[in-house]
Structure 1
């Protein structure tokens, strides 16, 4: 049985998910189909619970993404109180992907990592300072570099 979850997400996250997981745009927002073996599919499957009665789902506001997935059991539903946590986990997937890609190029080329961040954003058609504040994205990578340097200092000390 095909089931759907509609989440309210930031614009940059919507564009990233559509580009990364091969989604599509519709008049109601972005649509994304995930398999059970994918990372998002595993998250949905792990959190789904047995609900014998229909559950009222809150209407999302703003930019939305609809995730469709397959579930054999009709009474297994993704709980509405976990929508916020799923959105935060999707944001963590974005952050991890951005850090891994920028780190790979930054370690080889060196220099300013802002250029590499812009290349990552351009790949997913995310407009800096329109869809997301560019300094916020730079801070994600800068904080990562700071954590790594602290770990290295502890190892050497």
Structure 2
């Protein structure tokens, strides 16, 4: 049975899903999601049996309507799960942005990640400073780079600590010989 859900999301998230891998279903105004896709699995996981009809929610601002298939007629997505679902959609957008920019940097070897963020936005027809804040997008990738640097610093510190006893052991061996 095909069901739809309307989520209140930011403009750039709406454009990302409408112009991305899911796309609009034949111009019907909603995104059609297959059950085996990442978003389809997510919708299936948060749905549960609701034997009664839920009130229709009022939405304002940018909305994303998603059509999905479920075998059970009584399965619905409860309204208390919708904020978690929208946060997960934002996380999918973040991850896609980070992966796109990181892959482009790996291929080209360039340190200028701003141009790759612009290419990512052009791919999904997202207009910076209209649909989303440019500095926020840059901060998403900067935060990713900082997390990687912190992790690498920890690893360097651990490798330095591990290498000290080996040097001391080698010095003692030389002194004994």
- TM-score w.r.t. the length of structure 1 is 0.94
Describe the shift of the 1:52–1:85 C-alpha distance in structure 2 as closer, same or farther (beyond 3 A): same
- Return the offset for 1:26: 6.2
1:15, 1:139 → 2: CA distance? 20
SS in 2 for 1:142: helix
Task: Report the counterpart of residue 23 of structure 1 in structure 2.
Answer: 24
SS in 1 for 2:148: helix
1:24, 1:73 → 2: CA distance? 22
Q: Which has the larger radius of gyration?
A: 2
- Return the offset for 1:108: 3.1
Task: Report the counterpart of residue 136 of structure 1 in structure 2.
Answer: 136
Task: Report the counterpart of residue 68 of structure 2 in structure 1.
Answer: 69
SS in 1 for 2:56: coil
Instruction: Please list the CA deviations of residues 55-109 of structure 1 after superposition, one character each: whole Å capped at 9, or x if unmatched.
Output: 1131111111110111111111010111111111001000000000101112332
Task: Report the counterpart of residue 7 of structure 2 in structure 1.
Answer: 7
1:81, 1:89 → 2: CA distance? 14
Task: Report the counterpart of residue 41 of structure 2 in structure 1.
Answer: 42
Describe the shift of the 1:78–1:2 C-alpha distance in structure 2 as closer, same or farther (beyond 3 A): same
2:79, 2:37 → 1: CA distance? 21
Deviates more, 1:117-126 or 1:57-66: 57-66
CA contact (8 A) 1:48 1:79 kept: yes
1:52, 1:104 → 2: CA distance? 46
Deviates more, 1:55-64 or 1:85-94: 55-64
SS in 1 for 2:40: helix
- Return the offset for 1:25: 8.7
Describe the shift of the 1:136–1:37 C-alpha distance in structure 2 as closer, same or farther (beyond 3 A): same
SS in 1 for 2:112: coil
- TM-score w.r.t. the length of structure 2 is 0.83
Gaps (5+ residues) in structure 2?
Answer: 158-177
Task: Report the counterpart of residue 124 of structure 2 in structure 1.
Answer: 124
CA contact (8 A) 2:25 2:32 kept: no
* Matched residues, number: 155
Gaps (5+ residues) in structure 1?
Answer: none
2:25, 2:40 → 1: CA distance? 17
More helix by share: 2
Runs of 4+ in 1 over 4 A off after TM superposition: 24-27
